[in-house]
Amino acid sequence: MRSLLLLTLCVLLSACTRVAFTVPVGQPASPQDTEVLAGDWTGEKAVVWHVKPETGSAYFIAKGAEDGKEKDFRFVVTTVGHDVFIVWVEDKELNAFLPMRISGAEDALALLFPDEEAIKRIVEERKLPAVFDKDKKAWLFPKGDWESLLASKDFWSLNLSLPFTKNREPNQVPEVNRRPGT
């Protein structure tokens, strides 16, 4: 979930360069692995994001209000490498998906963004066929075998992340332990 918030901020900030792939990379994450994402998450600026699965698909919808404006995002989660979870947020302007790596646990996590400097360096060394679109401020990756790249720690920026904490429901006393009248 943190990745979702980080991506959201990146998309909202015009100075931020996006990294986009034409299709999500990796294997779809299992429902058992992603069910923890459903619920309310508090991100930066105390924004609460309501996340729920989209009916009839592997996608999730995140809704929240930031700076007085309602926002919503559609995303899917995949796995690459050995249990590396990637959130893929749809970007309609680019007709592509923006990746964020999930780091953390069930109740607190961060979304890591791709490291723009590492990407630029790898492209300049001609190791990646990505193209930079100046008008859209985005690195665009064609369809390909990117799993090892996305699974590597070097692809992700540890300095650019979005923290999230899951909101817990108020503690409730189980029915069997309640005293009459409480």
- Identify the pLDDT of residue 65: 84
pLDDT at 1: 45
| CA–CA separation, 60 and 77 (whole Å) | 9
How much is the pLDDT for 169?
63
The pLDDT value given to residue 175? 40
10-residue block means of pLDDT along the chain (182 residues)? 42 61 94 91 86 94 87 94 93 95 87 90 82 90 90 89 82 39 45
Show the tokens assigned to 11. Answer: 């998309």
Q: Return the residue matching tokens 């924004």.
A: 47
